[in-house]
Structure 1
Amino acid sequence: MDMAVVAACSAVLLFGAGFHLYWGLGGRLGAGVSLPQREDGSPAMKETAAGALLVGLVLTLVFVLVLGFAGLIQLPVAHWLQKTAIIFWAAIFTLRALSWSRYFGLFKRVRNTRFARYDSLLYSPSCLLLGLGFFLLALTDAA
């Protein structure tokens, strides 16, 4: 198991989880670029605290999965099931990064908004890093 990949994926997950939990609890720093925007800058989806908290919780659980898969903590789930979940999340994060969606992903069509710039520079590359890192973890798993 490549601990540098585990560390990089963990750092990205914790950073993302932290921001989503912060937004879900009412924080405003960065909130203006946290959701996709239409060409005119208006939100493409409704901002909800529950949605942000849910994403933060999911990212936290994926972080715990990474720690368990790497053998750093003990999870009450069979290793093969953890590996299946790692591959699932690898696909999810890679698809998010490479999405042909109108508003997000490296191949998005709307590129002139504040969110789009952050998505191109931070969000999509982070998802691609996670996706590729997770695939690498699954491929190098010796268990």
Structure 2
Amino acid sequence: METAVVAVCSAVLLLGAGFHIYWGLGGRIGADVSLPQHEDGGPAVKETAVGALAVGVVLALVLLLLLGFAGQIRLPLPHWQLKTAVLIWAAVFTVRALSWSRYFGLFKRVRNTRFARYDSLLYSPSCLLVGLGLFLLALADAA
């Protein structure tokens, strides 16, 4: 089961990192639903290439962390540090998914925008899946 959890979480993180890096490099596919929107459809946050690239790099680093923790790659960190980092990121992804923020999370208040629909159907469930998967892996680890 742990192999399946690693595979699913890795796929979600790789896809998320890929899209964010693509947007950061100027890609436009999906960009119109990549950021929270006000009720009138206007952007709630400013779009920046640096921001998109930063998110992409962070997601890629979390992927490397996951692969290192799962023993798929070798990282120059002790196992306890990898486990601690996995638990921290598990909390970050779970909180993102369950947020009561105005614009994102499963309990968001603004629900009538294109971003909100994608967030409800794809982004927040993906974050919850990764968060719970990381928790499962870290808590199942006996080392």
Per the normalisation by structure 1, the TM-score is 0.99
Distance, in Å, in 2 between the alignment partners of 1:3 and 1:69 is: 12
- Find the counterpart in structure 2 of residue 107 from structure 1: 107
- Find the counterpart in structure 1 of residue 98 from structure 2: 98
Q: Which structure 2 residues correspond to residues 1-143 of structure 1 after superposition, within 5 A?
A: 2-143=2-143
Distance, in Å, in 2 between the alignment partners of 1:81 and 1:131 is: 18
Task: Tell me by how many angstroms 1:130 deviates.
Answer: 0.5
Distance, in Å, in 1 between the alignment partners of 2:132 and 2:81 is: 19
Distance, in Å, in 2 between the alignment partners of 1:63 and 1:79 is: 16
Task: Tell me by how many angstroms 1:142 deviates.
Answer: 2.6
Distance, in Å, in 1 between the alignment partners of 2:71 and 2:56 is: 23
Secondary structure of 2:29's partner? coil
Seq. identity, %: 78
Task: Tell me by how many angstroms 1:141 deviates.
Answer: 0.9
Task: Tell me by how many angstroms 1:136 deviates.
Answer: 0.2
Coordinate RMSD, CA, aligned:
0.7
Secondary structure of 1:58's partner? helix
Which residues of structure 2 form unaligned runs of 5+? none
Residue 27 of structure 2 aligns with an amino acid whose one-letter code is G
Residue 91 of structure 1 aligns with an amino acid whose one-letter code is A
Residue 68 of structure 1 aligns with an amino acid whose one-letter code is G
Residue 109 of structure 2 aligns with an amino acid whose one-letter code is R
Aligned length: 143
For residues 39-63 of structure 1, give each alpha carbon's deviation from its aligned partner in whole angstroms, at most 9, with x where no partner exists.
0000000000000000000000000
Per the normalisation by structure 2, the TM-score is 0.99
Secondary structure of 2:117's partner? helix
